[in-house]
C-alpha cells in the first residue's frame, strides 16, 4: 500500500483538520501543525531497537517514512508527508499503526509480564532541548 499524498498534489491539512484528528491518537503532539511526534519508552536498549526496526519495516511496507530517534530505552517517532511539507491523513494512520506495534511489543516485554503494567510513553526531547 503506497502513501497517496507522498505522490504530491494533495494539500497539507489545515489546523482545524489537525485539531479534529489529533484526539484520535493517544500521546501524540502536532508540532507547529507540521508534523506529529511521540516518544515510546522501553525497559532497555534491545527492546527499543526491536520496536524501531518494526516501525522501519512498517514504513517500508507502506512507503511512508518517519524520522526515527533511538536512545537507551526510548524511541522517538516524527512523521509528516515530506512531499507536501506538512501533515496528511496518512500521517495519522501511520501514527495509529505505530501505537498498535507498541501495544503488541508490550505483550512480549518481560517488564509487562513481571509487573502487569505497560511502560508510559513520554515526549522525546528535540535536539535543541536540554536533556
Q: Residues with Cβ < 8 Å from 89, sequence gap 6 or more?
A: 5, 13, 21
Q: Are 110 and 25 in contact (CB under 8 A)?
A: no
Q: Is 129 noted as a catalytic residue in this protein?
A: no
CA–CA separation, 48 vs 79, rounded Å?
A: 18
Hey, what's the cell of 65?
Answer: 517514512
Active site residue 65: yes
Is residue 129 a contact partner of residue 37, using CB atoms and an 8 Å limit?
Answer: no
From 34, 65, 69, 89, active-site residue: 65
- Catalytic residue among 17, 34, 82, 89, which? 82
Instruction: Establish whether 82 is a catalytic residue.
Output: yes
26, 29, 57, 60: the active-site residue: 60
What SS3 state is found at 30? strand
Whether 60 is catalytic:
yes
User: One of 35, 47, 64, 78 is an active-site residue; which one?
Assistant: 64
The CA distance from 55 to 98, in Å, is 6
Residues annotated as catalytic are 60, 64-65, 82-83, 91
Amino acid at each position: 500500500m503506497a502513501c497517496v499524498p507522498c505522490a504530491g498534489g494533495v494539500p497539507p491539512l489545515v489546523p482545524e483538520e489537525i485539531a479534529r484528528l489529533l484526539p484520535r491518537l493517544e500521546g501524540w503532539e502536532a508540532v507547529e501543525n507540521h508534523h506529529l511526534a511521540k516518544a515510546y519508552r522501553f525497559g532497555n536498549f534491545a527492546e527499543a531497537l526491536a520496536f524501531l526496526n518494526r516501525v522501519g519495516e512498517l514504513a517500508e511496507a507502506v512507503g511512508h517514512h518517519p524520522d526515527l530517534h533511538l536512545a537507551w530505552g526510548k524511541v522517538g517517532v516524527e512523521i509528516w508527508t515530506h512531499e507536501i511539507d506538512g501533515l496528511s491523513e496518512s500521517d495519522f494512520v501511520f501514527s495509529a499503526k505505530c501505537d498498535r506495534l507498541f501495544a503488541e511489543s508490550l505483550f512480549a516485554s518481560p517488564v509487562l509480564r513481571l509487573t502487569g503494567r505497560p511502560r508510559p510513553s513520554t515526549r522525546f526531547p528535540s535536539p535543541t532541548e536540554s536533556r
